[in-house]
Amino acid sequence: MKNGTDLFSLEGKVALVTGVCYGIGFAVAGALADAGAKIAFNSRHEDAVARAAEDYAAAGIDAFGVVADVTDEVDANRLVGAVAEKLGEIDILVNNAGIIKRIPMHEMSADEFREVVDIDLVGPFIMSKAVLPSMMRRGGGKIINICSMMSEFGRETVSAYASAKGGLKMLTRNIASEYGEYNIQCNGIGPGYIATPQTAPLRERQPNGERHPFDSFIVSKTPAGRWGTPDDLMGTAVFLASPASDFVNGQILYVDGGISAYIGKQPK
């Protein structure tokens, strides 16, 4: 029987975190590294990989970066092969790469909709498909999908994002259902509203110095009374990547400060 500390150890494990250049992905990768994992990451853009490599080095993390597009099957297989050759076969896949387009649905083109779904949903399908054979052969693995509050809720201007993240929730459950017999666990993290560069426009101070209306709305709807930070997701990521979660499968863990459990305060 392992002790509590051993349950959360990732020593000797290889983790690939996709799209990890800043924010949530960077924090998750750092947490996995602190737990002992060897880290690989990717981006579609060479300059982003170079910049992220510098950030990792500054944080004292030895991370292997690859320029690759998660929506391209050939590229995805090349990425997985490059990581295996450099660090060893992948034990932990974190499907973090994603985009959002805040456009009213009646103004959004089909191409814009498809781009979001392609990166946020088809990408995790392609990447999971690329690592599953090795995990099946070796008798285990962890896949963590970065879902969203929008995996459960709708909101104006995010029809494509919500559709993709809702689909990602069901992909998570299907991978768990189909590959659980191989000791592969697939779970999701559903961040609440997290203070990242992606959400920065929603937190900008108004010209008169007041908070952005959406900022005030989110704080009022969150029992914790604040936005989350990427660091708030680190413990959940280590748990889902580690032996501590070996009997947890097909679940979405919402790290949201309580917002999904809260109906809100009665207006005064």
pLDDT digits (tens, 9 = 90+) for 123-152: 999 999 999 999 999 999 999 999 999 999
Verdict on whether the full-model pTM lies above 0.75:
yes
Task: Kindly list the catalytic residues.
Answer: 161
Alpha-helical segments (H) within the chain: 4-7, 23-34, 46-58, 73-86, 110-117, 123-138, 159-179, 213-221, 234-241
* Residue 122 DSSP SS3: helix
Question: How many of the other CB atoms lie within 10 Å of CB of 68?
Answer: 24
- pLDDT confidence of residue 202: 85
Query: Percent of the chain, pLDDT > 90?
Result: 88
The answer to whether 194 and 227 have CB atoms below 8 angstroms apart is: yes
Length of the chain counted residue by residue: 268
